[in-house]
Amino acid sequence: MNRMRFLVTAGPTREPIDPVRYMTNRSSGRMGYALAGAARHEGHEVVLISGPTTLDVPPGVDFIHVETAQQMYEAVRDMVRDVDVAILSAAVADYRPVHVAQQKIKKSEGRVLLELERTPDILASMREEFSFTGVLVGFAAETQHLISNAREKLLRKGCDMIVANDVSQPGIGFGSTENEVTLVLPDREIQLPRESKEWLAMRIVEHALTLLP
């Protein structure tokens, strides 16, 4: 196999509320770091774009640290040229506060309303906005209708494969060491067993490579 160029997104994003508070989610980054490590292990060039995690960057992987969805969007846009396989596994915040307070918000007796707006959808920007023509692998974190929701994402976002995980099940998905995923392709589905994220990452990378022209 020739040396290919991979781009992987991983981890959560942090959307600031004020200088000391932010919105985030339970992603540890393990799935994405395992994907980056698996692609590198197979001899490919890898750039990993990650939100904040406590993980070590796999050896030999180029690394870009970001905090917000907007920063991840810009980093992917800037790095995507000449990439053969893009795997977007990050748990990007879908919403961010409209206003970021310059000073720490003081507590008061009443309720506080936080107005939120959509963040850019990086996966949905890949084909038209970023003109990406390589193999595009997205993830779907679902709590119901796993396969039909994943298939809808596959079509709507121009993906070649969606890695669907049921994040309502305990012990897999967000923050765990194991995962259980179904690879959703245009013409079929491949159910993989519950396994370590490292083992699954190797299978996902292998399948993604079979989709290269």
Three-class secondary structure of residue 37 per DSSP: helix
Beta-carbon neighbour count of residue 204 at 10 Å?
A: 26
Report CA 5 to chain centroid distance, whole Å: 17
Give the contact letters, 144-183, x = binds to ligand PMT (CB under 6 A), - = no: ---------------------x-x-----xxx---x----
Retrieve residue 135's tokens: 């193999």
Q: Does 85 bind ligand PMT (CB under 6 A)?
A: no
If binding is defined by CB under 6 A, does position 204 make contact with ligand PMT?
no
Instruction: Let me know if 25 is a catalytic residue.
Output: yes
89 touching ligand PMT, by CB under 6 A = yes
Per-residue mark of binding to ligand PMT, 103-142 (x: CB under 6 A):
----------------x-xxx--------------xxxx-
Handedness of CA 73, 38, 140, 4 (dihedral sign): positive
Contact 143, 95 (CB under 8 A): no
Extended beta strands in 51-196, E state: 62-65, 85-88, 95-97, 116-118, 135-142, 161-166, 178-179, 181-185, 188-191, 195-196
CB nearer ligand PMT, residue 43 or residue 191: 191
Going by C-alpha positions, the residue among 21, 24, 27, 25 that lies closest to residue 99 is 21
Under rule CB under 6 A, residue 200 binds ligand PMT: no
Point out the catalytic residue in the list 25, 149, 165, 179.
Answer: 25
> Total residues at the site for ligand PMT (CB under 6 A)?
28
Interface residue with ligand PMT among 8, 14, 29, 183 (CB under 6 A) is: 29
CB-CB contact of 42 with 1 (8 Å): yes
Which of residues 4 and 36 has its CB atom nearest to ligand PMT in the complex?
Answer: 36
Q: Could you list the active site residues?
A: 25
Residues interacting with ligand PMT, by CB under 6 A? 9, 27-31, 69, 88-92, 94, 119, 121-123, 138-141, 165, 167, 173-175, 179, 197
